Amino acid sequence: MNLLYDGSFRGFLTTVFTVFKERLDPVNIEKTSSHVPDLFEETRTVNSREDLAKRVILGIKNRISPLMPRLVLHAFLTGAPGVENTLLACVQKGLSQGPGFTDNLADPHALALEQLSRRCLHEYHLFLGIVRFRQVTPGCYYAPIQPENNILPLLGGHFSRRLGDQDWIIHDLTRGTALIFSNGKLEMAEITLDQPNEGAGPPDLEDEYFSIWRTYYENIGIADRKNPRLRMNFLPKKYWKHLPEMKGEV
C-alpha cells in the first residue's frame, strides 16, 4: 500500500495516524510530488489534518519520550531519501518499547533517528551564524540561503527575537520557500525568482552592508595565523556562495 501526502510535517503525521488506525502493513509513505505511479500498486492520498497530527504528537510524547517529537521533526526536515518510512519504523518501535527507546542507541532505529536529527541541528546551528542580510528597500532586509536540510522553519524564532524591530526575508533558494517577518508577524511563503537571461551574470549584491561585512572580516583576521584548511573544516566551501566576506574566494 502506497500512502501519498502533501510533503508537510502535518501531512506526514496524519499519514502515520492512518497507518496505525487502519493497521496497514506493509505500507510505503511518499510525497505526492515525488511519487511515480505503478499500475500494479494500490495507492491512496491522505489529506493533511491538524487534529490528527496533534494526536500523533501527543501519543509519541506521552508513550515514548517528551523529546521524541522534536527528534522526529528534525529528522523529517533532512528530507533524506525514504525518511518517512524510517520515521514510521522509529515510531512503531518506540511505541512497542516505550520510554527509554530514544536513549537506546544500540537499537538501529533509535540510532538512525538520532543521526538524522543531529544532521539537521548541526546545519541549523551553523546557519545561525552565517545568514547574511542586505538591504533591498528602506527598512527591509533580504538574506538568501541554500542549506542541504530544510532548516528554514527552525530559523524563524531566533531571527524574530534578534531582529524583531526590522522587516526581513530569509529565502531558501533551493526549495523556493521564505520566512517573511513584517510588522512583527512571521509567516512562511513560497517565492520563486525569475530566471536570468541565458549568459547573464549573477545579480549584483554589492551594497554598504556587504562592504561592512568584508571590512569586519579582514580586520579581525590575523594574517600569520591564517589556516584555509581549518577554515574549510568549520565552514565548507558549499556555504561560501552567499557570504560577502568570501567574495573572490568562491
Looking only at the bridges linking them, the beta strands covering 43-45 and 185-190 are unpaired
In this predicted structure, what is the pLDDT of residue 27? Answer: 94
Same domain, 172 and 237: yes
In this predicted structure, what is the pLDDT of residue 107? Answer: 94
Same domain, 135 and 214: yes
pTM: 0.85
CA distances from 103 to 60, 73, 98, 99 (A): 15, 17, 11, 9
Same domain, 115 and 151: no
C-alpha grid cell, residue 240: 561560501
C-alpha grid cell, residue 115: 543521526
- Answer with the one of 106, 123, 140 that is the final residue of a domain: 123
Cβ(166)–Cβ(139) under 8 Å?
yes
In the chain, count of helices (H) and strands (E)? 8, 8
Strand partners, 45: 4
Closest of 25, 90, 26 to residue 56, by C-alpha: 90
Closest of 69, 67, 113 to residue 90, by C-alpha: 113
Handedness of CA 6, 9, 12, 18 (dihedral sign): negative
Q: What are phi and psi of 69, to 5 degrees?
A: -55, -40
* Cα–Cα distance measured from residue 66 to residue 40, given in angstroms and rounded to the nearest whole number: 40
Q: Which helix (H) or strand (E) holds 142?
A: strand 140-145
In the chain, the number of structural domains is: 2
Same domain, 8 and 113: yes
Looking at residue 190, its amino acid is E
CB atoms within 10 A of CB 7: 16
For residue 213, the enclosing domain spans: 131-246
Kindly give the confidence (pLDDT) of every residue in the chain, 250 residues in length, as a single tens digit, with 9 standing for 90 and above: 999 999 999 999 999 999 999 999 999 999 998 888 877 789 999 999 999 999 999 999 999 999 999 999 999 999 999 999 999 999 999 999 999 999 999 999 999 999 999 999 999 999 999 999 988 888 889 999 999 999 999 999 999 999 999 999 999 999 999 999 999 999 999 987 665 444 444 444 456 666 666 676 666 666 667 766 766 766 788 888 888 777 655 5
In this predicted structure, what is the pLDDT of residue 235? Answer: 79
In this predicted structure, what is the pLDDT of residue 70? Answer: 97
Same domain, 74 and 161: no
- Answer with the one of 99, 123, 147 that is the final residue of a domain: 123
Closest of 70, 10, 80, 85 to residue 46, by C-alpha: 10
- Answer with the one of 67, 93, 123 that is the final residue of a domain: 123
Rg (CA), the chain: 21
Same domain, 119 and 180: no
In this predicted structure, what is the pLDDT of residue 213? Answer: 61
Q: Is 215 helix (H, G, I), strand (E, B) or coil?
A: helix
